[in-house]
Each structure stands twice: as structure tokens, then as C-alpha cells.
Structure 1
Amino acid sequence: MADQAPTPQNPVDGSFRDPIETVTVRRSPRYGVFLVLGAGLGILVAMILTFAFNGTDQVSTSGVTYSDTQVFGFLALFCGAGGILLGGVVALVLGSMVGRRTVDVRAEHAVVRTQD
């Protein structure tokens, strides 16, 4: 029989454990990046819509005339929220597609001591 090395003792709490374990790694998208990109895309769409249609020359039904900045603000509010929603949906779909692929890897425990 081959000699096996004894399981090392953890210097922190004195327990014995196997330093190498098998863990499952799953990739997932960064949801914040997708939300920010969706918001940016929504604001870009709002800017395009603001300057593509010249509706500020007409008086609204309430008798108020809106400036280009006000129109952009209203559109940015709705298009930005829609872009965030769209970015979140895309991230969830990609997360479910990529999340199916998992990889088993070996991980080693390491104890690092520092002196403060």
C-alpha cells in the first residue's frame, strides 16, 4: 500500500480537512452592465426621437408649447426605463443559456496569515 500523506491540520481552528475539493463553476452575465447598456441605448433612442420629429412648433391640447429639452427629458424617462427592462431581459436569457454549462474544477484551500 502506498503511504498517504496525513490530512493537514488547519492552523486557524485546529480542524482537519482535505485541502483539495471539487467545486462546480457556473458562468453568469454581469447584470449591472446589461442594465447600464440598456439605459444608454434607451437614452440614445430618446435623443434620436427628439430630433427626428419636429413637434415642438405645435401647441399641445392644453395650450402649452414644450421645448426640445423637455421633450427629450420625457422621452429619456420612458425610453431609459424601457432600455433597462430590455437589458435585464437579455441578461436573464443569456444567463439561462450560459448557466446550463457548468464545469467541475479542483480547488485548493489556502490559509494566509498576515501580521498587522
Structure 2
Amino acid sequence: MSTPDSPASDRTTVTVRRAPKIPAFMVVGGLIGFLATLVATSLFPADPLVGYAALLGYFSLYGVTAGVLIGAIIGVVLDRRSQRQARTVEAERQVVDAAPIEGELED
């Protein structure tokens, strides 16, 4: 066990990069796909037998799916790009025992 004066250290090489959060891109893509479907559906007159809400719901299946797919593709492309810009650095890990709290019994 190490004393508080001399902490144990371990040096290793690590890769550091900024990676995008792909689920966030997918959610934003789905929202943009829904908004695009909303705009496209409102540009044309709705069939009175079906109704506007049913048309919007049906076409949203396609719009949201396409938006999620495009968002995922953009996220993966940005992730690949961040892998090329990754840096390798040397890191040092130190393990330090916590100082005893006043009134606490030591081992």
C-alpha cells in the first residue's frame, strides 16, 4: 500500500479525440424529417375522405425514417473524420489514498 506522500503512478499512451454523439444526430434528423413532412403535406390539398391528420401520420413514417437515416449517416461521417484528427498523448494515472477524516479510526 502506498503512503500519502508517494502516490502510485502508471504511465500509458492514450488516444484523445472529439467524437460526436450519433443518437443526437438521429433525433435531430427525425425532427427535421417530421417538419419537412409537415411542410410537404400542408402544401397540397388533403383528401376529404382520409383527412389531413391521417395523411400527416402516414407520410411521417417516411419522413421521420429518412431523417433518422440521414442524421445517422452524417453522425458516422463526422465520427470517421474525428478519428483522423485524433491525437496520441501520454497520460499518467495516480492513485492517492484519501486522507482520514478527523475522528475516523485508521487501520
What is the TM-score with the length of structure 2 in the denominator? 0.75
1:77 corresponds, among 61, 65, 84, to: 61
Whether 1:21 aligns to 2:12 is: yes
Corresponding residue for residue 47 of structure 1: 38
Q: Which residues of structure 2 form unaligned runs of 5+?
A: 101-107
**Whole-angstrom CA distance in 2 between matches of 1:101 and 1:79:** 33
Whether 1:95 aligns to 2:79 is: yes
What is the TM-score with the length of structure 1 in the denominator? 0.69
Question: Taking CA–CA contacts closer than 8 Å with sequence separation of 6 or more, which of the two structures ends up with the larger relative contact order?
Answer: 2
Deviation at 1:77, TM superposition (A): 1.0
Corresponding residue for residue 105 of structure 1: 89
Deviation at 1:95, TM superposition (A): 1.2
**Whole-angstrom CA distance in 2 between matches of 1:113 and 1:104:** 29
Deviation at 1:75, TM superposition (A): 1.1
The total of aligned residue pairs comes to 95
% identity of equivalent residues? 28
1:58-89: CA deviation from partner (whole Å, max 9, x where unpaired): xxxxxxx1111001101111100010000011
Q: Give the secondary structure class of the aligned counterpart of 2:95.
A: coil
Which region of structure 1 is more displaced relative to structure 2, 96-105 or 106-115?
106-115
Q: Aligned Cα RMSD in Å?
A: 2.3
2:29 corresponds, among 27, 38, 48, to: 38
**Whole-angstrom CA distance in 1 between matches of 2:42 and 2:12:** 59
**Going by fraction, where is strand more abundant, 1 or 2?**
2
Residue type of the partner of 2:78? L
Q: Give the secondary structure class of the aligned counterpart of 2:46.
A: coil
